[in-house]
C-alpha cells in the first residue's frame, strides 16, 4: 500500500515537472513576438506625441522682464501719386507677454523726400504672434492721430493707421530684430489753400521697415 502511494506521488511530480518545462519553453518562444509588439506600440506612441513647444524667451523671459521698447527705420512709397514718398523714424515702449510681442504706444516722424511736408503720428500699437512659442512672423497694427504739415497748407490733426506683417531676424532673450511690410493710411482733412481752393485727400503708403526691440 505504501509503495503504491509512493509510485502515485512520483508520477504526479513527474507530470508537474513536465508541465513546468513546457510552459517555460512556450514563454521563451513567445517572448520575441511580445517584445516586438511592445516596441511597435512604444514607437507609435512616440510618433503620436507632439514635442511641446517652448515659450519664446524674448517674450516670456526677457532681460528687462515684461517691459519692452524699440526703434524702427522705414521708407514708404506714395500709392496716391502725389509725390509724397517718405522716410520714417519711430520709437515705442510698452508691455510684452503671453501671445503679445508688444502692446503699447509709439510716435514717429515722417518726412517727405521731395518736399518740406512733415507728419508726426502718435499711436497705439500691438504686435502679436498668436502663440506663446517663438514664431518667424507676427502681425503689427497701429492706430492713432497724426499732426500734419503738408506743403504750405494749414496744419491739421488727422487719423493715422497701419497694418503690416513682420518677419523675425536675429532673436534672443535680450534682443530681437525684424523687418516689417505694412500698408499705411492717412486721410487728410480738407483745407483752404492761399488761392482759395479746398484741398483734401488720403495719403496711402506701401512701407518697408527695419527695427529692433529690447
CA 162, 166, 169, 171 torsion: positive or negative? positive
Q: Are residues 24 and 112 in the same domain?
A: no
CA 81, 83, 84, 87 torsion: positive or negative? positive
Alpha carbon distance 78, 48 (integer Å): 51
The three three-digit cell numbers of residue 168, written as one number: 523675425
In this prediction, residue 5 has a pLDDT band, given cuts at 50, 70 and 90, of low
Q: Are residues 71 and 158 in the same domain?
A: yes
What pTM was estimated for this model as a whole?
0.72
- 161-192 per-position pLDDT tens digit: 999 999 999 998 899 999 999 999 999 887 76
Q: Are residues 6 and 89 in the same domain?
A: no
Q: Are residues 37 and 62 in the same domain?
A: no
- 194-205 per-position pLDDT tens digit: 665 556 788 999
pLDDT of residue 27: 47
Q: Domain of residue 193: give its range.
A: 57-213
- 21-77 per-position pLDDT tens digit: 565 455 454 455 545 545 555 555 555 555 566 888 898 877 778 999 999 999 999
Closest CA to 115 of 90, 146, 150, 89: 150
Q: Are residues 116 and 209 in the same domain?
A: yes
Amino acid at each position: 500500500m505504501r509503495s503504491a502511494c509512493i509510485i502515485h506521488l512520483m508520477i504526479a511530480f513527474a507530470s508537474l515537472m513536465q508541465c513546468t518545462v513546457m510552459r517555460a519553453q512556450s514563454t521563451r518562444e513567445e517572448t520575441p513576438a511580445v517584445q516586438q509588439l511592445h516596441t511597435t506600440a512604444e514607437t507609435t506612441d512616440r510618433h503620436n506625441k507632439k514635442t511641446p513647444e517652448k515659450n519664446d524667451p524674448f517674450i516670456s523671459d526677457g532681460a528687462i522682464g515684461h517691459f519692452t521698447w524699440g526703434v524702427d527705420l522705414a521708407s514708404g512709397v506714395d500709392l496716391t501719386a502725389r509725390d509724397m514718398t517718405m522716410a520714417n523714424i519711430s520709437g515705442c515702449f510698452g508691455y510684452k507677454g503671453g501671445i503679445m510681442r508688444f502692446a503699447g504706444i509709439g510716435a514717429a516722424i515722417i518726412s517727405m523726400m521731395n518736399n518740406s511736408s512733415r507728419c508726426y503720428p502718435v499711436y497705439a500699437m500691438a504686435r502679436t504672434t498668436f502663440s506663446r512659442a517663438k514664431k518667424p512672423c507676427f502681425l503689427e497694427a497701429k492706430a492713432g492721430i497724426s499732426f500734419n504739415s503738408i506743403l504750405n497748407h494749414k496744419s491739421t490733426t488727422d487719423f493715422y493707421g497701419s497694418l503690416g506683417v513682420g518677419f523675425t531676424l536675429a532673436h534672443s532673450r535680450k534682443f530681437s530684430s525684424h523687418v516689417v511690410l505694412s500698408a499705411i493710411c492717412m486721410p487728410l482733412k480738407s483745407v483752404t489753400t492761399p488761392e482759395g481752393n479746398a484741398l483734401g485727400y488720403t495719403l496711402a503708403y506701401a512701407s518697408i521697415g527695419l527695427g529692433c526691440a529690447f
